[in-house]
Amino acid sequence: MGWIVNKIIGPVADLVFPRVCHVCGVRLSRGESFLCLPCIARLPRTNYHRIPMNGVEKRLAGIVRFRRAGAHFFYNRESDVATLLHDVKYRGFPALGRRLGKLIGDELRITGYLDDVDFIVPVPMHFLKKARRGYNQTDHIAAGLSAASGIPVLNAIKAVRGHKTQTSLSMEERLKNTSGIFRVVDPALIAGKHILVVDDVCTTGSTMISIGDCLREQAPATDVSFYAVGCTV
């Protein structure tokens, strides 16, 4: 019965509300979701997972302890990646975050990059901000990574206070803005584990640095890696 309903309702829904690519606007084919295959192929990949001391690791090196760090796509405000993340965060498309997470997870999984990770940990959002937005986009990105890799998601870190948007802040202001906002929920849960902290965008690395400081102080027996969907050059 469910198969019959999908067979009838699906095409009708596509006629009324056609599914289109969030980048180019072309109508999606069956099997595609949120992004058409040509746009997926054109997204500007960094290949940072293959490059030691890449652009993200350089932002963290000598400041926080980490096993590895990276980001999957190059990002700027006019880029297709920015369009996608804007849709995820501000236009009510959290499922697009899961789609991006799964895309990234599928590409990382075959390289072995995720093999020694015990938990995927989304960068947390303060509960007041989450209440206003309705969701935390990194929860959905992490869920997509988990679906691709089989690695469980663990909300091991919480945001204990809010902070203002970092778009126009300098590096020094960003570090001050994110200082002391995170806490480890239960250090025993991640003691001796390797966690992958997942964010949407890395610019200066201030959020990763703040989480690294938090882990150093509250869960020193935990190994941490960092990964973002996009990063600035």
What pLDDT is recorded for position 128? 92
**Tens digits of pLDDT across the chain (233 residues):** 443 434 444 444 344 448 999 999 999 999 999 999 999 999 999 999 999 999 999 999 999 999 999 999 999 999 999 999 999 999 999 999 999 999 999 999 999 999 999 999 999 999 999 999 999 999 999 999 999 999 999 999 999 986 555 455 565 655 565 667 999 999 999 999 999 999 999 999 999 999 999 999 999 999 999 999 999 99
Say if CB 161 and CB 126 are below 8 A apart.
yes
Closest CA to 97 of 133, 129, 64: 133
Closest CA to 155 of 184, 192, 188: 184
Inter-axis angle of helices 206-218 and 171-178, nearest 10: 40
CA distances in angstroms from 25 to 15, 21, 36, 83, listed in the order given: 15, 5, 9, 12
Task: Write down all domains in the chain, each with its CATH number in brackets.
Answer: 1-42 (no CATH), 43-231 (3.40.50)
Q: What dihedral do alpha carbons 104, 107, 110, 111 form, nearest 10°?
A: -90
Report the run of H or E that residue 230 belongs to, with start and end. Answer: strand 223-231
Say if CB 97 and CB 131 are below 8 A apart.
no
The structure's pTM equals 0.87
